[in-house]
Amino acid sequence: MVRKGVRPARPAAGHDVERVLDELYATPPSAFVSRREQLAAEAKRDGRGDDARRIHGARRPTLAAWAANLLLRSQPQESGRFLELGRALREAYRTLDADGIKELSEQRRSIVSALSRQAAQLAREAGHRLSGAAQQDVESTLRAVLADEDAAERWAAGRLESALTPPADFPSLDASTAGSAHRAARPAPAPPASRPRAKDELAERRRRRQQQLGRARRSAEAADHRLRELSAGRADADASLRRARDRHERAREHESAAEERLREAQQELRRAERERQEAEERLRTAAEAVDRAERAAQDAAQEVARLAEPIT
């Protein structure tokens, strides 16, 4: 039987095949087969033939089963509370009357609906939108977890391959079931001599029933409250993500504009550098021409001075 927590103990090993299988069943169905073959090949290459056979024998889950596995692994605390709630509900359904069954059934329906929406959201965030039929399979699986101990253990292992179906004899909200539950809970008439004892036993059963109902109600209310908190937190996270994406997009736009301005400035700098080099070359050419002109002028002046001297 699964107790507190949502995953059974894994054996310690250098190469933990249980951990590998956990990873595999968290892989979306579209990538399951290729990932399975890769992991099996790695185990075989490492000389772990038994592990390779176990990995290779893993069956690809349906989309609904994968979403249910994803819910378990992504929300471990809430999943643990859900499993605890299932244990409390199964115990309560064995002893409650029609009114108690009706109230718990309504709470059960609300919690299952909220969790199935969470599973659909997680699947969507992982890139896989659930169809209406797939989401109904997720809800069926969650109802089975609440109703059936074996189903709870299978889900808690986190490796569902297909959706689960709740047992047909689990109490529902319809009038015929409620009536039969009420008739089943009604004690048979006791012989006159044993009526005082029967009344005492009936009172004790009712007292225990009320205690169980109280525990089940508290568990259901706590789970429902936690789901509302998580839903509000998810909405806040979604809003924060949208704001962050908007800021990121604006920053990208500013970066693109800045990069364009930088490219234009670099082009302008290169043009200015070419013009500077050309101006320096013209200046150097002009300076050389001036030097030559100055030397020619000096030579001419000296020649004039020489020719102006009197002939003796």
Nearest-angstrom CA–CA distance, 142 and 139: 5
Structure-block tokens of residue 100: 């108690």
Weakly modelled stretches of the chain, pLDDT under 50: 1-14, 172-194
pLDDT confidence of residue 186: 41
pLDDT confidence of residue 38: 94
Closest listed residue to residue 85, CA positions, set 225, 252, 253: 225
State pTM to two decimals: 0.54
Q: Which residue has the tokens 């039969």?
A: 180
CA-based torsion, 290, 294, 297, 299: positive or negative: negative
pLDDT confidence of residue 131: 93
Give the pLDDT confidence of 40-73 residue by residue, as tens digits.
999 999 999 999 999 999 999 999 999 999 999 9
Nearest-angstrom CA–CA distance, 105 and 35: 40
pLDDT confidence of residue 310: 80
pLDDT confidence of residue 106: 74
pLDDT confidence of residue 188: 41
Residue 230 CA to chain centroid, in angstroms?
13
User: How distant, in Å, are the alpha carbons of 93, 187, 196, 199 from that of 193?
Assistant: 31, 16, 8, 12
pLDDT confidence of residue 185: 39
- Neighbour-count burial of 143, counting CB atoms closer than 10 A to its CB (0-12 exposed, 13-18 middle, 19+ buried): buried
pLDDT confidence of residue 86: 86
pLDDT confidence of residue 13: 43
pLDDT confidence of residue 137: 95
pLDDT confidence of residue 176: 38
